[in-house]
Every structure is written in structure tokens, then in C-alpha cells.
């Protein structure tokens, strides 16, 4: 009986970690989505008062950031620790997702999935985008105690759409920080030296090492995220280039360590690829504060289907259980995406109006 009770406690603890990662990312995604592509100046003008859901009146929907996290979770359930099976499952789900007409799909992801539809084993393209990084936090949580499996699964996920080593480095960086948080390595905010030491182990790529050095200097200041955005190329907004995007998300999480709301708002104010930054930083922030640290009205305001909060709760429960089976691909995603596309287009028309 003691063993059973102990196992249940471990399962409950793991489920809470997975809930935090999935829900923290999804809420950040939904809150950031209406600001996607805005300049930093205009995002701040749109952000009047407290940050809230505004894609629909008081309600939010998720984008590809959350879709990909869901597919990663389902693929993990189906693969049972086999990295090759995980890759096959993730490819299958992403291929089906593509024909459901997702809005705002990245160029590299689109090209990679078209190549996957042609049956190419090496479907990824040479791109240093942040697509793989947006789906890697969950891999860090699931394989927090297994560095080899963590790296292998991030590599498998990345290679489906991106072959550039910088894309892999960015994705692994998010997974490594998530894993450190799950292991309890950083109950308090780590020093800038500790954070940089971890990030240096991610890749030997020279551009990545230079990026880590820049981020380290920023994290030694009082406002790391703002310091990162001072580079001329990032002042108008932080885009999807992985060596701009991932360090910014890390800097936002680091600057507002222990405050989920402030972390996500910081991502929104920076403009650019806001939904992805808020999703990545939101996942890391929620791993620090737990699901209850995500404002309740933000959680309750997330109204989407089939990848809404009920789906994320089930995935967290199943990933923490030893014998749970993976769900199939939801056909409802196609009509949902058509509705979502209409909402996004209407929101785009609204952007033609002030404030500028």
C-alpha cells in the first residue's frame, strides 16, 4: 500500500508539472496572438490597462504554438519512449494538421511539411526559425531526468521542419531550462552565470555561443528583456529568427521570474512574434509558479476547441499515467481552423484602424 501511495504521489506531481507547461504555454499563446506582428510601439498602444484576452471580446483562442504542443504530447503517448516512433507519430499529426489549413503557419514549417507529404525522410529545410522551439518545453518536462532522451527527442522534433543547427540549439535551450525547473534545480532565480553555463552546453555552434554571451550580459542588468531588445534589429519588435526569439523569451522569463502575468505582458509589449514568445516564456514561467500562478481569468477566458483547456488537462493526466493511450487526430480541427481564419482576418481588418 505504501508503494501504491508513493507512486500516486509521484504521478500527481508529474501531472501538475505537465499541466503547468501545457496551460502556461497555451494561455500565453492566446494572450499574445492578437498582438502578433505589431511593432513594439503599436503593441504598447494597443495594450491599454491590464492585459486581457481580446481576439474575441474577453475570450482567447490558440494558434499553432499550442497545436504543436498537443501533437508532441500525443506523439509521446503513442511512442512510449521510442524516439523513432515519436518522430513518425509527430510527422503524421503535423501532415494532417497542414491539410486542416492552419492560419499563420511559418514558411519553413510549411515547406518542411510539404516535403513530408512527399514522403521525404529528411523533410526539414535550412531555416533558423523558432518553430521547433515553440514545441520543445514539454519535451524538457517529460525527459527532465534523462539528458540523452531529451536531446534525442528535441532533435527528432526539430528535424521534421528545420535542419539549421541554430534552430536545434534554440529548441534544446527551452527544453533544458524546462528540465532544470522540473528537477528543482532553480527554486529561486539562478544567477546570470548559472543560466549562461547551462545554455553554453546546448550547442558548440559559434553563433549560438555568441548569442549566449550577449544574453549573459543582458541578464546582468536590471532589465534583461529590454536590454536584449536594444539591438537595432529588435527595437521594432522581436521576430521569429531563433537567435533573436529564444533568448528574448528566456530573458523575459528570467527578468520576471516567479511572476507569470508580468512575464507574458513583457512579451506582448516587445511586439513581433508575440504569441510564440508568450507561449515559450509562459511555459517556463508556469513551471515556476504552477497552474494556480496563471491568473484565473486568463485561464477561464481561453475558449477553444478541440485544443482548449479540457484537452490540455487530459493530455497532462495521460502523460503522467503509465498506460494511457494516445488520442487520434481530431477531424473537427478543419472547421475550427476555417472559423479561426475568419476571426483572424476580421481582427486584421480591425488593425487598419487606430491606435497606430
pLDDT digits (tens, 9 = 90+) for 81-109: 999 999 999 999 999 999 999 998 999 99
What is the rounded distance in angstroms from the CA atom of residue 5 to the CA atom of residue 1? Answer: 6
Q: How confident is residue 10, by pLDDT bands cut at 50, 70 and 90?
A: low
Q: What mean pLDDT value characterizes the chain?
A: 95
Q: pTM for the complete prediction? A: 0.96
Lowest pLDDT segment from 40-49, 94-103, 190-199, 211-220: 40-49
What's the pLDDT score for residue 7?
41
Q: Which parts of the chain fold into alpha helices (H)?
A: 2-32, 40-46, 64-79, 83-98, 107-117, 131-134, 137-142, 147-159, 165-182, 192-200, 206-219, 224-228, 242-255, 260-270, 274-289, 296-300, 309-320, 333-350
pLDDT digits (tens, 9 = 90+) for 214-263: 999 999 999 999 999 998 888 888 999 999 999 999 999 999 999 999 99
pLDDT digits (tens, 9 = 90+) for 105-159: 999 999 999 999 999 989 999 999 999 999 999 999 999 999 999 999 999 999 9
Angle in degrees, 0-180, between the axes of helices 206-219 and 192-200, rounded to the nearest 10:
170
Cβ neighbors of 191 (< 8 A, separation 6 or more) are none
Half-sphere exposure (Cβ direction) of 205: Cα atoms closer than 13 Å: 18
Beta bridge partners of 238: 272
For domain 2-51+62-350, give the CATH superfamily.
ADP-ribosylation/Crystallin J1 (1.10.4080.10)
Provide the 10 A C-beta neighbour count for residue 179.
Answer: 24
CA 196 to chain centre: 20
Amino acid at each position: 500500500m505504501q508503494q501504491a501511495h508513493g507512486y500516486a504521489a509521484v504521478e500527481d506531481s508529474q501531472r501538475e508539472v505537465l499541466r503547468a507547461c501545457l496551460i502556461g504555454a497555451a494561455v500565453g499563446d492566446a494572450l499574445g496572438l492578437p498582438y502578433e506582428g505589431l511593432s513594439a510601439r503599436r503593441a504598447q498602444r494597443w495594450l491599454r490597462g491590464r492585459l486581457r484576452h481580446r481576439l474575441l471580446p474577453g475570450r482567447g483562442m490558440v494558434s499553432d504554438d499550442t497545436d504543436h504542443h498537443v501533437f508532441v504530447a500525443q506523439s509521446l503517448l503513442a511512442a512510449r519512449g521510442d524516439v523513432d516512433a515519436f518522430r513518425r507519430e509527430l510527422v503524421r499529426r503535423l501532415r494532417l494538421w497542414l491539410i486542416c489549413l492552419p492560419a499563420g503557419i511559418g514558411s519553413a514549417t510549411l515547406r518542411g511539411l510539404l516535403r513530408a507529404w512527399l514522403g521525404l525522410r529528411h523533410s526539414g529545410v535550412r531555416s533558423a526559425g523558432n518553430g521547433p522551439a515553440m514545441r520543445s518545453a514539454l519535451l524538457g518536462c517529460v525527459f527532465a531526468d534523462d539528458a540523452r532522451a531529451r536531446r534525442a527527442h528535441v532533435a527528432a522534433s526539430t528535424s521534421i521542419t528545420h535542419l539549421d543547427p541554430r534552430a536545434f540549439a534554440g529548441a534544446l535551450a527551452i527544453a533544458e531550462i524546462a528540465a532544470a525547473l522540473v528537477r528543482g534545480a532553480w527554486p529561486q532565480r539562478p544567477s546570470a552565470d548559472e543560466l549562461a553555463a547551462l545554455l553554453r552546453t546546448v550547442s558548440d555552434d559559434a553563433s549560438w555561443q555568441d548569442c549566449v554571451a550577449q544574453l549573459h550580459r543582458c541578464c546582468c542588468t536590471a532589465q534583461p528583456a529590454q536590454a536584449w531588445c536594444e539591438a537595432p534589429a529588435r527595437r521594432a519588435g522581436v521576430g521569429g529568427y531563433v537567435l533573436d526569439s529564444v533568448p528574448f523569451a528566456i530573458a523575459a522569463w528570467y527578468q520576471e521570474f516567479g511572476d507569470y502575468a508580468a512575464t507574458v505582458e513583457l512579451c506582448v509589449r516587445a511586439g513581433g512574434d508575440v504569441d510564440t514568445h508568450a507561449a515559450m516564456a509562459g511555459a517556463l514561467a508556469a513551471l515556476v509558479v504552477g497552474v494556480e500562478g496563471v491568473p484565473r481569468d486568463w485561464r477561464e477566458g481561453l475558449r477553444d476547441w478541440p485544443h482548449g483547456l479540457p484537452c490540455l488537462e487530459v493530455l497532462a493526466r495521460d502523460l503522467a499515467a503509465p498506460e494511457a493511450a494516445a488520442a487520434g487526430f481530431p477531424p473537427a480541427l478543419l472547421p475550427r481552423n476555417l472559423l479561426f481564419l475568419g476571426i483572424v482576418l476580421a481582427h486584421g481588418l480591425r488593425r487598419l484602424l487606430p491606435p497606430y
